[in-house]
Amino acid sequence: MTLVQNFPFFCIILSMFSAIISFVLNGKWAKIVHVVMVTAVFVMSLFTLQFTYLNSTSYTYMMGHYPAPWGNEIRIGELECLMAASFSLIMLLSVMGGAYHIKKDIEAKKLNLFFIQLDLMMASLLALIYTNDLFTAYVFIEICTISACGIIMARKIGRVYVSAIKYMVMSLIGSGLFLIGLSLLYAITGQLLMSPAKEAMKGVLQEGIYLVPAAVIMVLLTVGLGIKSGLYPFHTWIPDAYGYSTPAASAILSSLVSKGYIFLLIKLIVRVLPYDSVPGRQMENVLFFFGIIGMIIGSVDAIRDKNIRRMISYSSVAQIGYIYMGIGLGSSEGIIAALFHVISHGVMKSLLFISATGLIDSSGNRLDRSGIVGAGYRNRIAGIGFTIGSLSMIGMPLCTGFVSKFMFASAATQAPVYKMIIAWTALAISTVLNAVYFMRTVLVIYTPQGVIKPKNKRKTEADTKTGVTENYETVKDTDIKLENIAIIALSVLILILGTLSPMVITVLTRGLTVFG
């Protein structure tokens, strides 16, 4: 085995080790350790992606001394490496973009705890991507849940505690259902590794025994992960959790955490659960219809909410609906479209949260739509970033959002006629609704009447040197530069994914071919 083939294991261990050593570090050094770790994970994931792509191969990595089916193992292929690289890059840019608010919103003495949670979250997401063992997946689901709750509560305001409780309650319900389903699966198959469990499930269905327990297992595992990822109608925790956390946490939660659970569900569908059976097709229909409802309801709620961060949060409900609609189409094209949108939405949502924060800060911390009038002139980079993110969410050509919607529409043609008609109709309605609330906000931030100097504005070190005194707090120039770099990088990624999408789709298609 070459050195590169060990990189996925190194990534998981490095993430966990970073969390351990950050316990004895202050906030500044914990941040440095986190940034170095995430950067290393991104680089190693790219090397592993190159190795698997050039060799057109996937392989398993045995953990410890015992082989399958007794030992634990991870599986590495093009699809997993692409997801790991995407997740690590989005986390890095989210932390960079939210650097100012991380220091502003979190007590200095507890800053290292915030980065410990992020380290553990990175380890959990990588484990969910790579693991070939179902119980290991459950363990890291719980670690990810605790870490997510921790970064929500890092910002100590009243609404955050309520948000964290909502998130924890819903997540525990989802985890409980997943664990019950996993226990039943082990009871009737005696397997926890994915490939042996799939073969055992096929045998159970062929023999005609345990048909009801098999259907219950599929329902419990699917619904459990659906709850944790925010599928409608289990989305009620999303607006508060995303809307009131510190911006970096909001970007990471919306871009990565829910997507980690969705990716695990796709692994279960392709590699464990017999979705070509009658119960499987019924579950696909359930996911399809709830995904469609989520697409519409999420957008309607976004239109009704005047708080810009909650508006973006409700938009996540709609976009998660897109992903579940793609899965529910019941075809490999639908799953590829869903996987592409996992990456696409991760980049778009991180950009929107970071850009919106820049607009809010330049408007005296006003969160309502009327309070950010003209903000695009006061913070030009944030205004441009928000506009690009909004255009992509609507589905404008050259943006990654356009590619996602085109792929969903194309995948729908391979589905039954009734699904195709419903999917196309929902895509059209959702696109119109997206345009209503995103373009309305873009028009507001570029309304000239709002070009005034706010009473409360971030003051940079450069302002201090020139004697500016009307601003209420000092911000390091490096924090502003990091925020701008993150916005520019995410904007460029949206355009790259939109124009070079065939390369990404090729990797997804090849990866899914050997995924089962």
Give residue 75's pLDDT. Answer: 87
33 residue type, one letter: V
Q: Sort strands 59-63 and 458-460 into parallel, antiparallel or unpaired.
A: unpaired
513, with CB counted inside 10 A (0-12, 13-18, 19+), is: middle
Q: How confident is the model at residue 59 (pLDDT cuts 50, 70, 90)?
A: confident
Is the pLDDT higher at 454 or at 24? 24
* Cis? peptide before 69, omega within 30° of 0: yes
231 occurs within a structural domain: no
Please, which residues bridge with residue 76 across strands?
59
Structure tokens at 401: 């959002």
DSSP state of 476: -
Q: How does the average pLDDT of the chain come out, rounded?
A: 85
Give residue 463's pLDDT. Answer: 42
484 occurs within a structural domain: yes
Q: Tell me the Cα Rg of the chain.
A: 22
Judge whether 69 and 196 are in contact, CB under 8 Å. Answer: yes
pLDDT tens per residue across span 162-175: 878 888 888 889 99
Chain centroid to CA 91: how far? 10
Give residue 177's pLDDT. Answer: 92
Q: How confident is the model at residue 462 (pLDDT cuts 50, 70, 90)?
A: very low
9 occurs within a structural domain: no
pLDDT tens per residue across span 117-127: 999 999 999 99
Is the pLDDT higher at 175 or at 154? 175
Which of these, 457, 298, 278, lies nearest to 382 by C-alpha position?
Answer: 457
Lowest mean per-residue pLDDT among 16-30, 56-70, 206-220: 56-70
Give residue 71's pLDDT. Answer: 67
Number of domains making up the chain: 1
pLDDT tens per residue across span 398-444: 899 899 999 999 999 988 888 899 999 999 999 999 999 899 999 98
365 occurs within a structural domain: yes
Q: How confident is the model at residue 350 (pLDDT cuts 50, 70, 90)?
A: very high
Whole-Å CA distances, 507 to 52, 158, 256, 259, 353: 10, 44, 20, 18, 28
Residue 364: helix, strand or coil by DSSP?
coil
pLDDT for 378 beyond 90: no
pLDDT for 26 beyond 80: yes
Q: How far apart are CA 163 and CA 94, in angstroms?
A: 20
334 occurs within a structural domain: yes
Q: CA 266, 87, 224: angle at the middle one, nearest 5? A: 35
Q: How confident is the model at residue 269 (pLDDT cuts 50, 70, 90)?
A: confident
Segment 449-469 shows an average pLDDT of 45
Q: Sort strands 59-63 and 72-76 into parallel, antiparallel or unpaired.
A: antiparallel
Is the pLDDT higher at 371 or at 494? 494
390 occurs within a structural domain: yes
506 residue type, one letter: T
Give residue 471's pLDDT. Answer: 40
Segment 314-323 shows an average pLDDT of 90
Is residue 72 within a helix (H) or strand (E), and if so which, with residue range? strand 72-76
510 occurs within a structural domain: yes
Residue 417: helix, strand or coil by DSSP?
helix
Whole-Å CA distances, 298 to 170, 235, 311, 434: 18, 9, 9, 10
Q: Map tokens 């997740």 to a residue.
A: 87
186 residue type, one letter: Y
Task: Please list, in sequence order, all residues whose beta carbon lies within 8 angstroms of the beta carbon of residue 54, skipping any fewer than 6 positions away.
Answer: none
Judge whether 184 and 190 are in contact, CB under 8 Å. Answer: no
Is the pLDDT higher at 110 or at 45? 45
Give residue 447's pLDDT. Answer: 86
298 residue type, one letter: G
27 occurs within a structural domain: no
Is the pLDDT higher at 332 or at 64? 332
Provide the residue range defining the domain that includes 343: 275-516
Size of the chain, expressed as the number of residues it contains: 516
Please, which residues bridge with residue 278 across strands?
none
Judge whether 156 and 244 are in contact, CB under 8 Å. Answer: no
Q: How far apart are CA 85 and CA 373, in angstroms?
A: 37
Lowest mean per-residue pLDDT among 137-141, 210-214, 417-421: 210-214
Segment 185-191 shows an average pLDDT of 85
